[in-house]
Every structure is written in structure tokens, then in C-alpha cells.
Amino acid sequence: MEKTLLSRAQSGVEAFDATPYYKPVSVGEAEAAIAVLLRYIGEDPTREGLVETPARFIRACGHHFAGYAQDPLRILATTFSESAGYAGMILLRDIRFEAFCEHHLAPIIGKAHVAYMPNDRVVGLSKLARVVDVFAKRLQLQERMTMQIATAIEAALAPRGVAVLIESEHHCMSTRGAYKPGSTMVTSVTTGCFEADGAPRREFFEAVRA
Ligand SMILES: Nc1nc2c(ncn2[C@@H]2O[C@H](COP(=O)(O)OP(=O)(O)OP(=O)(O)O)[C@@H](O)[C@H]2O)c(=O)[nH]1
Ligand SMILES: [Zn+2]
């Protein structure tokens, strides 16, 4: 492929650096910070209903932000060559995800559609969904998440093309701020055979709109 996403500035670094950027803090310090936040909003973190809340919240963070410790290339490492020469589009549609926006820490809830045109190897279908979650379980900008998914698939499979489309509702826009519930953000990235106007591109966009 002539112009790969990997060759574009930064996207490769962001996609594949599984090392946390932050300096780790202890669970105790993190829980104490949540207790401060509870006081900030006018609550009493020592009352019965809230006394376990910092610990619960930090446990939930382990789920919501699990993607920092995951390596997308390891997830995509198991590939199969015995697909009898199948060379058509492979599309996993409607991959539901929940992420958090990096500006407001508000939920981004949506669906990703991920397609590639294989060269000689295909990847297990579930791995496409897992790769979406690696990046969804980090603080995100939707544009970056779209690029990261495509970049990971391109790097792991060297396919003839990759196409990723994400549609989601940003709760920072629907429950606060501009207050526009129901509006959705749509982003897409295409590479290789999906990039130029032609049959693969049309097949992808028609399939995700269907
Ligand atoms: N491009 C992009 N913008 C996002 C995404 N998630 C949230 N935003 C926007 O990030 C912007 C942050 O703008 P700021 O002006 O710094 O923050 P704010 O004062 O809270 O803005 P409002 O949301 O307009 O109230 C907002 O316009 C959000 O809608 C995303 O994934 N991509
Ligand atoms: Zn936001």
C-alpha cells in the first residue's frame, strides 16, 4: 500500500503504545480524589450510601479504561490463511461500544462498522470487535478512535484496504452544553481499495447504511 495510515504523523504512536502515559497512583490516592469530588459537589462522602462509592467508582474505572493496558496488535495476531482464496469485503457491522470523551469525561455511545479487504490472511471475526473496545476503553476523540482502529487493522493484516465508520451520541452534547439529544456524530476512514470512488467504497457505505 502506498500511503498507509501508519505513515501518517502520530497515529501509529497513539495506536500502538500500550504503555500508560500517566504516572501510576495508588488505589487509595484515586479513591481519596473521588471523595474530594463528592465533597466538591456538596455531598458528604462519609454518609452510608456514599462510603463505598469511591471504591466502586475506581473499580468501574478498571472496566471503562481497560484499553490502556491492551495491545491491539496482540489481539489481531491470530490469523487464518485457509479461507479458500476469499477476496471479498469482510465487514463486521453494528459493533456497539461505550467510550468516554476526553473533554468532559461524558459517555460516547455508539456503533462502529469495520471492514477490510483481505490479502492472504483473515482474522477471527471477534477480534474486530475486540479492537474496537481496546480503543473505546480509553479517553477518546471520535476522530482519533476511528483512525486508531483502521491503523491497527492495516498494520496487523496488511489488507488491500480498510474502512471504518463510527456513529455515536456524545452525552457531553446531549445531556449538557449544547443540549442536542438525538444528534449523532459520524466519522469514517478509508484506505487502499476503499479510498477511491469505486465498487469497494460503494459496497461498504451501502452495507453500513442498509
Ligand atoms: N471533534 C470532536 N469534538 C468533540 C468530541 N467529543 C466532544 N467534543 C467537543 O469538544 C468540545 C470542547 O469544547 P470546549 O469549548 O473546550 O468545552 P465546553 O465549554 O464544555 O463546550 P460545550 O460542549 O460547547 O459546552 C465541544 O465542542 C464538544 O462537543 C469528539 O469526539 N470529537
Ligand atoms: Zn465531551
pLDDT of residue 12: 44
Does the ipTM exceed 0.85?
yes
Last residue of a domain, one of 40, 64, 88: 64
Q: Say yes or no: 34 and 95 in one domain.
A: no
Q: Is residue 10 part of a domain?
A: no
Q: Is residue 41 part of a domain?
A: yes
Q: Say yes or no: 83 and 174 in one domain.
A: yes
Question: Which atom of ligand 1 is nearest to 142's Cα?
Answer: 31
Question: Which atom of ligand 1 is nearest to 140's Cα?
Answer: 31
Q: Say yes or no: 144 and 191 in one domain.
A: yes
- Distance, in Å, from the CA atom of 201 to the CA atom of 82, rounded to the nearest integer, reads 26
Q: Say yes or no: 126 and 202 in one domain.
A: yes
Q: Say yes or no: 40 and 100 in one domain.
A: no
Choice among 7-11, 34-38, 75-79, 132-136 with the minimum mean pLDDT? 7-11
Q: Which residue has the higher pLDDT, 117 or 15?
A: 117
Q: Which of 97, 103, 109 to mutate to test the pocket of ligand 1 (most atoms within 8 A of CB)?
A: 103
pLDDT of residue 11: 45
Q: Is residue 168 part of a domain?
A: yes
Percentage of residues in the chain having pLDDT higher than 90: 82
- Distance, in Å, from the CA atom of 93 to the CA atom of 131, rounded to the nearest integer, reads 14
Q: Which of 172, 184, 187 to mutate to test the pocket of ligand 1 (most atoms within 8 A of CB)?
A: 172
Q: Please identify which residue in the block is written with the cell numbers 469495520.
A: 114
Q: Say yes or no: 47 and 105 in one domain.
A: no
Residue 102 designated active-site: yes
Nearest to 109 by CA among 163, 56, 184: 184
Domain span at 76: 71-209
Q: Outline where the chain has alpha helix (H).
A: 11-16, 27-40, 53-64, 72-75, 125-136, 142-157, 171-174, 199-209
Give the chain's end-to-end CA distance (angstroms, integer).
29
Question: Structure pTM?
Answer: 0.90
Residue 61 designated active-site: no
Parallel/antiparallel/unpaired status of strands 139-140 and 90-101: parallel
pLDDT tier at 125, thresholds 50, 70, 90: very high
pLDDT in tens, 185-199: 999 999 999 999 999
Q: Say yes or no: 58 and 82 in one domain.
A: no
Q: Is residue 141 part of a domain?
A: yes
Q: Give the largest Cα separation in the chain, rounded.
A: 64
Q: Say yes or no: 60 and 75 in one domain.
A: no
pLDDT tier at 71, thresholds 50, 70, 90: very high
Q: Say yes or no: 56 and 109 in one domain.
A: no
Last residue of a domain, one of 64, 80, 115: 64
Q: Is residue 45 part of a domain?
A: yes
* Average pLDDT score over the chain: 91
Q: How many domains does the chain have?
A: 2
- Provide mean pLDDT across the span 178-183: 97
Q: Is residue 113 part of a domain?
A: yes
- Provide mean pLDDT across the span 158-179: 97
pLDDT of residue 64: 97
- Distance, in Å, from the CA atom of 149 to the CA atom of 107, rounded to the nearest integer, reads 19
Q: Say yes or no: 196 and 109 in one domain.
A: yes
pLDDT of residue 3: 46
For residue 86, pLDDT over 70 is answered with yes
Ligand with an atom nearest the CA of residue 106: 2
pLDDT of residue 201: 98
Q: Is residue 188 part of a domain?
A: yes
Domain containing residue 76: CATH number: 3.30.1130.10
Q: Is residue 185 part of a domain?
A: yes
- Provide mean pLDDT across the span 12-17: 48
Cell numbers linked to 132: 474496537
Q: Say yes or no: 47 and 123 in one domain.
A: no
pLDDT tier at 96, thresholds 50, 70, 90: very high
Last residue of a domain, one of 11, 41, 64: 64
Q: Say yes or no: 87 and 164 in one domain.
A: yes
Residue 104 designated active-site: yes
Residue 64 designated active-site: no
pLDDT of residue 20: 57
Question: Which atom of ligand 1 is nearest to 141's Cα?
Answer: 31
- Provide mean pLDDT across the span 205-210: 95
pLDDT of residue 9: 39
Ligand 1 residue neighbourhood (C-beta within 6 Å): 101, 103, 141-143, 170, 172-173, 177-178
